[in-house]
Amino acid sequence: MNTEDNTKDNMTEPNESNDMFADARKYVNDLFGKKEEGAAETIGELAAEDNSVSAKEAKLEEELTDARDRLLRANAEFDNYRKRTMKERMELLKSAGAEVIVAMLPVVDDFERAMKAMQQTQQTEALAGITLIYHKLKTTLEQKGLTVMETIDTDFDSDLHEALTTVPSDDESKKGKVVDEMEKGYYLGGKVIRHAKVVVGG
């Protein structure tokens, strides 16, 4: 009876060992399987996170480029505005100066008429003082860019001259040319500010 029991015990022990080994193997496999699964999930999460970071970087780069472009445009617009304002201011100052100079031209004409009359009447003492004032005024205006238009013996030009009358001329070389000047013309900074009133040979 003891022999049979011992035989039964010996028969059951290997089976229990086998089961224990099987359980151990299963546990190890499960453990490593879970680790591999977890590693795969971690890699996937890292890849997704990396993609997300790349997308954010690309978006930030795009926003930075857009901001840089807007800044460059704003700088260019401001520079154009500054140049335009400066140009308008200079033109305003020039036009304001031109108005004053144009208003002074009749005074210059009066000085010249007075000097001519005094020369004819030989008022030399008064003429000296008038001449001095006239030259001061003329020099001041010339410093501001005023120049006299040369007209006598030049071809008539409607852009420069205003013909008051035409006089017949036997000299062919005088035809179409300015033969007399009734009122001087002037340039200011190279632009005509008053047309010369002239007599043209015909």
Contacts of 140 (CB under 8 A, 6+ apart): none
- In a domain, residue 17? The reply is no
Q: What is the pLDDT of residue 12?
A: 44
Domain count, the chain: 1
Give the other-Cβ count within 10 Å of 185's Cβ.
Answer: 21
- Is 178 a domain residue? yes
pLDDT, tens only, 114-157? 999 888 888 788 888 889 999 999 999 999 899 999 999 999 99
Q: How far is CA 141 from CA 77, 114, 146, 188, 201, in A?
A: 38, 19, 6, 9, 32
Domain assignment present for 88: no
Structure tokens at 100: 């004053």
Residue 47 lies in a domain: no
CA-CA distance, 113 to 49, in Å (whole number)?
Answer: 95
**How far apart (Å, rounded) are the C-alpha atoms in residues 99 and 96?**
5
* HSE-up (13 A, CA, CB side) for residue 1: 0
Q: Does residue 159 lie within any of the structural domains?
A: yes
Q: Predicted confidence band at 1 (pLDDT cuts at 50, 70, 90)?
A: very low
- Inside any domain, residue 20: no
Residue 191 in domain: yes
Does some domain include residue 184? yes
pLDDT digits (tens, 9 = 90+) for 145-189: 999 999 999 999 999 999 999 999 888 888 899 999 999 999 998
CATH of the domain at 161: 2.30.22.10
Q: In which domain, by residue range, is 168 found?
A: 148-202
